[in-house]
Amino acid sequence: MADLSAATQSPSVSSSSSGAEPSAPGGAGSPGACPALGAKSCGSCAVHDLIFWRDVKKTGLVFCTTLIVLLSLAAFSVISVVSYLILALLSVTISFRVYKSVVQAVQKSEEGHPFKAYLDVDITLSSEAFHNYVNAAMVHINRALKLIIRLFLVEDLVDSLKLAVFMWLMTYVGAVFNGITLLILAELLIFSVPIVYEKYKTQIDHYVGIARDQTKSIVEKIQAKLPGIAKKKAE
């Protein structure tokens, strides 16, 4: 009888053990998971997908909209561009509101306000969320203040000289381009460089490594010749 009971129990045990295995596909490595960006949030994942053109329609819409706004700012004043954008948005919403009201009056329907679903959305910012945003911003502000003090009070002479050379080069850039032009160029680079780098990553990394090694050797030579600067020990 003991052998018979053991024989009847063994299929259930094997079936339960085999039934536990198929749960693997639903894990963290599923295709629909957020891209591997370490501990970054979903907002960072959305930005990553945007600049890498994962969704061509969405990226194209954002790219064209921001480019048109920047080109408008290059030709008109900020007040004019903002006013025209608000007028365009109001024209669309008011026209749609009047159209739906006329349709409801003709059809004698009571669908209500066409934007009711959006009007009922709770967009209030809680005090806890506000404090979280402020705390996150304060971390970056304090870090920037420490960096500014360190550069302007010459804690490291080489770093301060780098800043001086960079600012000197920026004077020539400012003589050729204005702020809006630089923003337009920045947007073009943001939406083009990542996808190009992703396609030609091996070749770009090779040449960047060569340039980094040459720059490092030049900086080490400068540090060796400047008085009062101790060489940094390699970690």
Does residue 126 sit in helix, strand or coil? coil
Contact 158, 229 (CB under 8 A): yes
Q: If we measure between CA atoms, which residue out of 63, 65, 69, 82 comes closest to residue 187?
A: 63
* Residue 158 covered by a domain: yes
* Residue 153 covered by a domain: yes
Cα 79 to Cα 50: distance, rounded to the nearest angstrom: 29
Give pLDDT, residue 105: 85
Q: Residue-wise pLDDT tens for the chain (235 aa)?
A: 444 444 444 444 444 444 444 443 434 443 344 544 444 455 678 888 888 888 889 999 999 999 999 998 888 888 999 999 999 999 999 999 999 888 888 888 877 888 888 888 888 888 998 999 999 999 999 999 999 999 999 898 888 998 999 999 999 988 888 888 889 999 999 999 998 998 888 899 889 999 998 988 888 887 777 665 554 444 4
* Residue 90 covered by a domain: no
Range of the domain at 156: 136-177
CA distances from 15 to 11, 12, 23, 27 (A): 6, 5, 14, 22
* Residue 126 covered by a domain: no
* Residue 207 covered by a domain: no
Q: Domain count of the chain?
A: 1
Cα 235 to Cα 216: distance, rounded to the nearest angstrom: 15
Cα 90 to Cα 102: distance, rounded to the nearest angstrom: 18
Contact 210, 217 (CB under 8 A): no
* Residue 172 covered by a domain: yes
Contact 145, 213 (CB under 8 A): no
- Per the prediction, the chain carries an average pLDDT of 79
